[in-house]
Amino acid sequence: MGFLSLSIWMPIVFGVLLLVVGKDENAGFVRAVALLGALCSFVVTLPLYINFEIGSAAMQFVEKAPWIGRFNIYYHLGVDGISMWFVLLTSFITVIVVLAGWEVITERVNQYMGAFLILSGLMIGVFSALDGMLFYVFFEATLIPMYLIIGVWGGPNKIYAAFKFFLYTLLGSLLTLVALIYLYIQARGSFDIATWHALPLTMQEQTLLFFAFFTAFAVKVPMWPVHTWLPDVHVEAPTGGSAVLAAIMLKLGAYGFLRFSMPIAPDASREWAWFIIALSLVAVVYVGLVAMVQQDMKKLVAYSSVAHMGFVTLGFFIFNELGISGGLVQMIAHGFVSAAMFLSIGVLYDRVHSRQIASYGGVVNTMPKFAAFALLFSMANCGLPGTAGFVGEWMVILGAVKYNFWIGFAAASALIFGAAYTLWMFKRVYLGAVANDDVKGLTDIGAREFTIMLLLALATLGMGLYPKVFTDVMDASVMQLLQQVSASKLQ
């Protein structure tokens, strides 16, 4: 068993263990085991970076064993420069989420912690799978723990939100299953993704495959106009659920474009790039405007996520190195920043039990340490230079200008909306005089919450000040992907 298998199965084993032996009567023990499981799972992902061969586009840490022999399905794992960082991001955010739910979750603690640990392993499986059917199994299995997290520990309309999340994402994936089976037949009985990358396909085949994959991945990102499930889910989900959903689950769709749509259907990807670019710009501009009128902090940040992920898909489909690398960097940065934004809202909600911006005002007077962290994360959400939020968006805008000046100009102008809605929310929630008795009675963050905020702040600043650590790993794989997309498959 290699590091990738450990990264996948260690959190799942800990999660199942908690479901079996944990009870609310021994909640302290359950939390300790959950934290131990999350930390061990994070530690076993570190060798993936330490031993990663920079400059190689080949799959590394490869594991392959027969799984379902009759259909030639393999348990086949590996990571390259595109996927490696998402494995680390997943295990890191899981530690944060376990800490965030430490005191907040008081009922069914073992099931809550277990669901997050199992979800962590399944998401790492998505980023590591090199067999098409294995990818699909992991991709769909992530729905189950997240559905339960929303439906059991969510807000008043949690059942509605959970069903909407499940149906949107499941229905979107059904056409993808058809595409995978078609590729299996074309590859003469192989689910190997690398084999699919080399298949000669007609333009009609590529177009049909492209849109079959698009239905699943666009919903997962989510792209406009299939984004409407996201705000409802974020509002109802518990804080940890929102953090994981925004930080990692949205990345599964964007990752799918890179691993399936672009290399398997390169001619169709170039042919329909204008369509993806148009939807991305609508997400960046229109959804940014929608975010400006939100009164619920979670809804505002949810719409903000749609706008930021618009930069990701824009970067991918302009087909240059700056764009694709910028999209990948933006995915990682959004993982840190969106998790921080949702967890910050959770800190306030745990105390006041309201997400309405109007319920706050002058929080800086009673929670100065927390307000300092919130300011940093708000600035990162705006794309301030020196923070993680700047690097990816800057690279995508540079790549977009290189591709077409007006597309780059439209994307850059949308940054104004991001600054407007984020800073306006910060001003109304944190600045000014104390607005009411609820704010007057607030207590500043303790050691646990301070640790969570500090870890996310260090990640946000570290990536913003020295992104080379991230880009060096992905450069070779990005160049190989560009070569695959630029080569025609038409026969």
In a domain? residue 351:
yes
What are 391's two structure tokens? 């690097």
Which tokens in the block code for residue 23? 């009870």
Of 98, 74, 43, 10, nearest in space to 448 by CA: 98
pTM of this structure:
0.89
Largest CA distance in the chain: 72
Mean pLDDT over 329-353 rounds to: 88
Residue 188 is assigned to a structural domain of this protein: no
> Which domain does 377 fall in, by range?
272-491
Q: Which two tokens stand for residue 273?
A: 């790039």
Q: Are 154 and 238 in contact (CB under 8 A)?
A: yes
Q: Is residue 370 part of a domain?
A: yes
In DSSP notation, 50-92 reads: HT--TT--S-EEEEEEEEEGGGTEEEEEEE-TTTHHHHHHHHH
Residue 81 has pLDDT above 90, yes or no: no
Share of the chain above pLDDT 90, in %: 11
Considering the domain boundaries, does residue 379 fall inside one? yes
Which one, of 128, 127, 79, lies nearest residue 474 by Cα?
Answer: 79
Amino acid type, 390: F
Model confidence over 243-295: pLDDT tens digits? 888 888 888 888 988 888 888 888 888 888 888 888 888 888 888 888 888 88
Q: Work out how many domains the chain is built from and give that number.
A: 1
Is residue 29, in this structure, part of any structural domain at all?
no
What share of the chain has pLDDT > 70, as a percent?
Answer: 98
Average pLDDT for 358-380: 88
Domain contains 85: no
Q: What pLDDT is stored for residue 489 in this prediction?
A: 64
The answer to whether residue 394 sits within a structural domain is: yes
Mean pLDDT computed over 347-355: 84
* 365 phi and psi angles, rounded to 5 deg: -70, -30
The answer to whether residue 156 is domain-embedded is no
pLDDT in tens, 304-333: 888 888 888 898 888 888 888 999 999 999
